[in-house]
Structure 1
Amino acid sequence: MAESSHFDYIIIGNGLAGLQLALKLSEDNFFSTKTIALIDPSEKNTNDKTWSFWEKESSQWDSIISKSWNKASVLTSEKDIQLDLKPYNYNTIKALDFYKYAKTKLQTKDNIHFIIESVVSVEENEDLLVTTNNSTYSASHVFDSRVPEEFSIQNNKSISIIQHFKGWIIKTENNCFDDSKVIMMDYRLKDGNQTTFMYVLPFSTTEALVEFTYFTENVVEEHIYDNFIKTYIKDYLKIDTYTILETEQGQIPMSNFDFSKFNSNKITKIGTGGGWVKGSTGYSFKHTEKKVSKIIENLKANQRPSRNLFKQKFKFYDKVFLKVLKDENHKGEWIFKQFYGKNSIQTMFRFLDEESTLFEELKIMWSLFSWSFIKAFFKTL
């Protein structure tokens, strides 16, 4: 419990971005005298999602990685693309393991306080005030992960689609999965002409996450995901008997909406609310880690925390990609077949990590050369 109502930093939301930021602050002696509050209505005691990401090196997350793979496949109606990921590993972390890891570390710090309340408003006047359902707190700076209301109201002014999905973690009686390889995308079972695919993470030979994912403008009713998952398990995985251990369901905005306009000298939007989700893929774990490191660097240099968080050329690439998917949603299978069939997976990972060279980017653009992308390019200029 906090003994004061004023903090140097208030972090709103104990999700991926909020907890990664708090961890980074807690690990740096520069901030050891700063008081930090994390405000969230939830205790974060449920496994509400999984995060997947690729890495070449060991990291602080090694102890909570559920499973790693160095092989993957992308399956389309025309092509079976087998991928050797080395020197990368494709890793997955269960949200509950991440929450426990972060809370265990943060609760040992005297300057960090968890407040289980719902934030009602943030007011930036002479004082920076955060009002919750129970109290009011002041801060020198607020890091806010809430998605701005204007995003949903003015969504039609930006290029936006939704990555929405439902997955089952199933357990089988017999060995049914190749647990050395992740199925990143399987387009053989689709919902009409929309961009939809199956995603399979085999945790062992008898246990896997089987997930049906859409990249579309509108969500669907829950039973539709279930029907596709059932069909895939029966007809493609050839499994008749299994137990559903857990389910997960979510929606991730993929958008070029300008979240940065909600940043100020005293307020920094973070996470999904800050536009940190990769617009073209929905991946967020490693992008969050990089943006948190940049915020720390800015704070220590007495710069505005949101300074230089984004690379503009990659925002433009994402915008073109989103424009194609929005205008010609049936093109999704072809796009990803070109991505992974015409370029090495190592090049694609560097591109998606925004670490690629200009030559690699031009090669990727050439692999997608089509009238659809030419039109999208000029429409987004």
Structure 2
Amino acid sequence: MHKPHYDYIIVGNGLAGLQLALALGNDAFFNGKQIALIDPSTKSENDKTWSFWETEDSIWGKLPYKTWQKATIYSSKKEIKLNLKPYSYKSIRALDFYNYAKANLKQKHNIHFITDTVTKVSEKELVSVITETNSYTANHVFDSRVTPHFTTQNKKHTTLLQHFKGWIIRTEFPVFDDTQITMMDYRLKDGNQTTFMYVLPFSKTEALVEFTYFTENTVKESTYDSYIKHYISDYLKIENYTIAETESGVIPMTTFPFSNNNTSNITKIGTAGGWVKPSTGYSFKHTQKKVTKVVTNLKANQPPSKNLFIAKYKFYDKIFLKVLKDENHKGEWIFEQYYSKNDVNTMFRFLDEESTFTEDLKIMWSLFSFSFIKAFFRTL
């Protein structure tokens, strides 16, 4: 029996899969290539919110749900006000992104959506992709499934989890200042761990209020809920509200070498490819950059994952994670130093992996401490 064949198969229609499909679909170079996206979900729910910052308007146009140019960080000791200009901080609702991507891709005759679950990907001359109901072959597969080795071999690597739950709440009367976000609020803590509140006011009567941990283990659903409830009543001073939606997630912050799982014809993408920035969990813009690089590589007939990572940032992320894992209570101090002692341009360029060596030194100096020196030598 003849198996359906594609030039490229993308496994998983999450952020990385859809961004990659959009980049391939919008580049005339790939017009003659047959591309399939395989995912068990039709992506018709708003399951998360992605946020990022940028100076110019990006390719996402009107997709952001809301944009801000001011942010506040609260530590137990101080309140740090940030004017983000020339940057804007933007949030995109996952459902808006899925709908945009699907509408765009369905107009392309060479792109095919297959609703199914991939059970196995194996490689001979061609890559074979087995699903629950069918099997396919491809010249190259982009696979967003996290390798099972991650959980079994992970003890050798520094790993924390960024795990969170958020409520989108609505109030009857205007209570939010929708010109600014609360990027991190450390005043409410779960014990001695790194936990913070994140507030995105979408309007004067609607906001996402999210409790986030940077820790080794996740907690019960009810734990997040009780902190969110406490924060809304005691810090936001809101008594009457309704919960319109909830979202939750777990993002690995890890030095695990995901890219070792790439082969000549299978490229791991997204979280599974190590595309999420280990020290922050930010993924939207990092994914966009990686996708641009993958497309450039394909057009130059190079391995798609060539030069996807910059060594110095991998090293910085390792040090940061080492400190945070060994001394988890230090999180508040680290972020307070980071945001109070550096200017916005330097901070965002560093997080975007676009900083100069001088800017790197400024950042290091702001975090200079015994913990970082210790972690630095351990990481060497």
Provide TM-score, normalisation by structure 2: 0.99
Identify if the C-alpha distance between structure 1 residues 54 and 22 changes in structure 2 by more than 3 Å, giving closer, same or farther.
same
Q: Partner of 1:188 in structure 2?
A: 187
The 1-side partners of 2:142 and 2:177 are apart by: 42
Q: Partner of 1:288 in structure 2?
A: 287
Q: Partner of 2:269 in structure 1?
A: 270
Q: Partner of 1:84 in structure 2?
A: 83
Deviations 1:178-237 (A, max 9, x none): 000000000000001100000000000110000000000000000000000000000000
Deviation for aligned residue 1:4: 6.9
Q: Partner of 1:34 in structure 2?
A: 33
Provide TM-score, normalisation by structure 1: 0.99
- Tell me, yes or no, if structure 1 residue 305 matches structure 2 residue 304: yes
Q: Partner of 2:326 in structure 1?
A: 327
Q: Partner of 1:124 in structure 2?
A: 123
Deviation for aligned residue 1:60: 2.0
Q: Partner of 1:373 in structure 2?
A: 372
- Tell me, yes or no, if structure 1 residue 153 matches structure 2 residue 141: no
Q: Which amino acid aligns with 2:311?
A: Q
Q: Partner of 2:178 in structure 1?
A: 179
- Tell me, yes or no, if structure 1 residue 220 matches structure 2 residue 219: yes
Deviations 1:139-172 (A, max 9, x none): 0000000001000111111100000000000001
Deviation for aligned residue 1:63: 1.6
- SS in structure 2 opposite 1:8? strand
The 1-side partners of 2:293 and 2:65 are apart by: 27
Q: Partner of 2:61 in structure 1?
A: 62
The 1-side partners of 2:102 and 2:302 are apart by: 28
Q: Partner of 1:44 in structure 2?
A: 43
Name the Cα RMSD after superposition.
0.8
Q: Partner of 1:339 in structure 2?
A: 338
Q: Partner of 2:109 in structure 1?
A: 110
The worse-fitting range, judged by mean Cα deviation, of 340-349 and 236-245 is: 340-349
Q: Which amino acid aligns with 1:80?
A: E
- Correspondences of 1:241-260 after superposition (within 5 Å): 241-260=240-259
The 1-side partners of 2:118 and 2:272 are apart by: 14
Deviation for aligned residue 1:126: 2.7
- SS in structure 2 opposite 1:341? helix
Deviations 1:243-288 (A, max 9, x none): 0000001000000100111011101000000010000000000000
- SS in structure 2 opposite 1:64? coil
Q: Which amino acid aligns with 2:121?
A: V
- Tell me, yes or no, if structure 1 residue 230 matches structure 2 residue 229: yes
The worse-fitting range, judged by mean Cα deviation, of 337-346 and 98-107 is: 337-346
The 2-side partners of 1:24 and 1:380 are apart by: 36
**Native 8 Å contact 2:161 2:252 kept in 1:** yes
- SS in structure 1 opposite 2:203? coil
Q: Which amino acid aligns with 1:309?
A: L
Q: Partner of 2:278 in structure 1?
A: 279
The 2-side partners of 1:155 and 1:318 are apart by: 16
The 1-side partners of 2:196 and 2:301 are apart by: 45
Count of equivalent residues? 379
The 1-side partners of 2:90 and 2:3 are apart by: 40
Deviations 1:280-326 (A, max 9, x none): 00000000000000000000000000000000100000000000000
Q: Which segments of structure 1 move beyond 3 Å, counting only runs of 4 or more? A: none
**Native 8 Å contact 2:3 2:135 kept in 1:** no
Deviation for aligned residue 1:15: 0.3
The 1-side partners of 2:23 and 2:125 are apart by: 28
Deviations 1:316-350 (A, max 9, x none): 00000000000000000000000000001221100
The worse-fitting range, judged by mean Cα deviation, of 162-171 and 118-127 is: 118-127
Q: Which amino acid aligns with 1:226?
A: D
Query: Percent identical across equivalent pairs?
Result: 67
